[in-house]
Amino acid sequence: MLIIGSHVGYKKDSGLVGSVKEALSYDANTFMFYTGAPQNTIRSSIDLENVKEAYKLMQDNGIDKNNVIVHAPYIINLANGDESKFNFSCNFLSEELKRVNTLGMKYLVLHPGSHVGQGVDIGISNIIKALNKVLSNDESDVMILLETMAGKGSELGKTFEELKQIIDGIKKKERIGICLDTCHLNDAGYDLNNFNEVLDSFDKIIGIDKIKCIHINDSKNSLGSHKDRHENVGKGTIGLDNLINIINNSKLKDVPKILETPYIDGKAPYKEEIALIRSKI
């Protein structure tokens, strides 16, 4: 069965119930949310009654909690070795893992980090150090999904080799998975016209079984542009056929697909995009 949804809001007042209702309004059977604003680390406490009500709503409407994804805020940068920034990022990630666990979800998507001029190898070793530190102090089974990045600025995780290098350094490997992002793959230089080859290469380097989420986005920019600007489904350089081909891949059948495409005239495009995708499956 196609597991598809989108990024949805998570607000202080409506909490997880609000997120589920928004997902249902798009005819989605999963969703992804940030536990607060994506660009800051202000987080309010979780109302367990609200969470209970959200689970009832999910159950009644065929949303399996194991397919729901949480995204960590962009501001966490585990690759920056500056001591106070490094500690801030580690502490926030620890708290975020606790929140995800309290909310009852299984997956937390994380941008691996940007080396901010310190170089790829130092950046990667900082990420490894941070993840080992955070995971050694966390008893939950929440899995951190490292996202494939576009390679904008000094972003790490723009190649499968870099992601593999990170995973190799992790002690609790069972706690690390991967989130593919189609816009990022394109912008990083992976040609999605040949998705089977891209996936084969991923499988050889990391292993398909590590893929636990796929962000479905078209791209405003060309192959290898390192830009990271998402476009609506079928409106960009990747194109509808390639996105459908990825969504339809039998090896990725059970992996939740999440839209992070831009709003159109201030309105979420997800209901229409989900309907479009369903019509092509």
For Zn ion, the binding residues (CB under 5 A) are 228
Residues 6+ apart with CB under 8 A from 260: 6, 7, 32, 181, 183, 215, 216, 217, 230
Q: Could you tell me the smallest distance in angstroms from the CB atom of residue 61 to Zn ion?
A: 28
> Does 181 interact with Fe ion (rule: CB under 5 A)?
yes
Query: Which amino acid belongs to residue 72?
Result: A
CB of 184 to Zn ion, least distance (A): 5
Select 86 or 270, whichever has its Cβ closest to Zn ion.
270
Query: Strand 4-7 and strand 257-259: pairing?
Result: parallel
Nearer to Zn ion, 78 or 149 (CB): 149
228 binds, among Zn ion, Fe ion, none (CB under 5 to 8 A by kind): Zn ion
Binding status of residue 215 toward Fe ion by CB under 5 A: yes
- Chain residue whose CB lies nearest Zn ion: 228
Nearest residue (CB) to Zn ion, 144 versus 185: 185
Residue 232's Cα: distance from chain center in Å?
A: 17
Residue 113 CB, nearest approach to Fe ion (Å): 12
Question: Which residue shows structure tokens 């597991």?
Answer: 3
Window 138-157: contact mask with Fe ion (x via CB under 5 A) = ---------x----------
Amino acid at 167: I
Nearer to Fe ion, 29 or 261 (CB): 261
Nearer of residues 162 and 181 to Fe ion, judged by Cβ:
181
Partner touching 215 among Fe ion, Zn ion, none, CB below 5 to 8 Å by kind: Fe ion
Distance of alpha carbon 183 from alpha carbon 217, whole angstroms: 5
Report how far residue 262's alpha carbon sits from residue 268's, in angstroms, rounded to the nearest whole number: 7
Q: How far apart are CA 216 and CA 207, in angstroms?
A: 20
Q: Please, what is the angle between helix 120-136 and helix 83-103, to 10°?
A: 50
Window contacting Fe ion (CB under 5 A); options: 11-19, 178-186, 189-197, 268-276 = 178-186
Distance between CA atoms of residues 139 and 218, nearest Å: 37
Return residues touching Fe ion (CB under 5 A).
147, 181, 215
